[in-house]
Structure 1
Amino acid sequence: MLTGKQKRHLRSLAHHLQPIFQVGKGGTNDQLVRHIEEAIEVRELIKISVLNNCMDDPREIGAEVAEAAGAELVQVIGKTIVLYKQATEEKYRKIELPKAAAK
């Protein structure tokens, strides 16, 4: 689970990214989730856009895709979804998250 500070950091990194996947009127499916899993393993942080012809709520799509891909939902703003998942392989790790505050 990401802290507010970590989400803020990831949002700032995602600001300049372009969406690499689109969800259309067909909604999400297993093939889309598989492609997202592969891309997020290499990139760690991705954007997904929800097209205007998609009748589903972008927040629901974001939560569904994040859960299916094993990623964290960072932000849903308008029709853009931002997902994060730390790469399992050391060579793909590029993002250093701020440390969570000790209680």
Structure 2
Amino acid sequence: MNLTTKQKQHLRGLAHSLKPVVLLGANGLTEGVLAEIDSALSHHELIKVKVATTDREMKAAIMDAIVRETQSVKVQVIGHILVLFRQSEEMKVALPRAK
């Protein structure tokens, strides 16, 4: 799913007040963490994930792996916080229409 700039801007506004749902710790990205992120995306559609690592390349690789494995869209990255979106069947989050 590709989002327009206007749709991403709308989602960033909605995500502003959200707290991170999943926090990655010292164990890094495990199957259990991926399952939890997948479950949260199915339930909420728009979530924040905190990736607590000091290595920039490792953080970028983990975030890319999360997006790839959960088949979600990276809306925004600020510091250690990744905002993800994956639309569900119920379409809980209303997106502006793409032109």
TM-score normalised to structure 1 length: 0.85
1:3-82 alignment to 2 at 5 Å?
3-52=4-53, 55=55, 57-82=58-83
User: Quick one: distance in 1 between partners of 2:72 and 2:17?
Assistant: 20
- CA shift at 1:26, angstroms? 2.0
RMSD: 1.5
User: Quick one: distance in 2 between partners of 1:58 and 1:96?
Assistant: 30
Across the two proteins, how many residue pairs are aligned to each other?
A: 97
User: Quick one: distance in 2 between partners of 1:76 and 1:60?
Assistant: 13
Q: Percent identity?
A: 37
2:92 aligned to which of 91, 94, 98: 94
Deviations 1:9-53 (A, max 9, x none): 10000000000111122221111111111111010000011224x
Amino acid at match of 1:78: G
Amino acid at match of 1:31: G
Amino acid at match of 2:11: L
User: Quick one: distance in 2 between partners of 1:6 and 1:62?
Assistant: 21
User: Quick one: distance in 1 between partners of 2:3 and 2:80?
Assistant: 22
TM-score normalised to structure 2 length: 0.88
Deviations 1:55-90 (A, max 9, x none): 4543332221011011111111111000000012x2
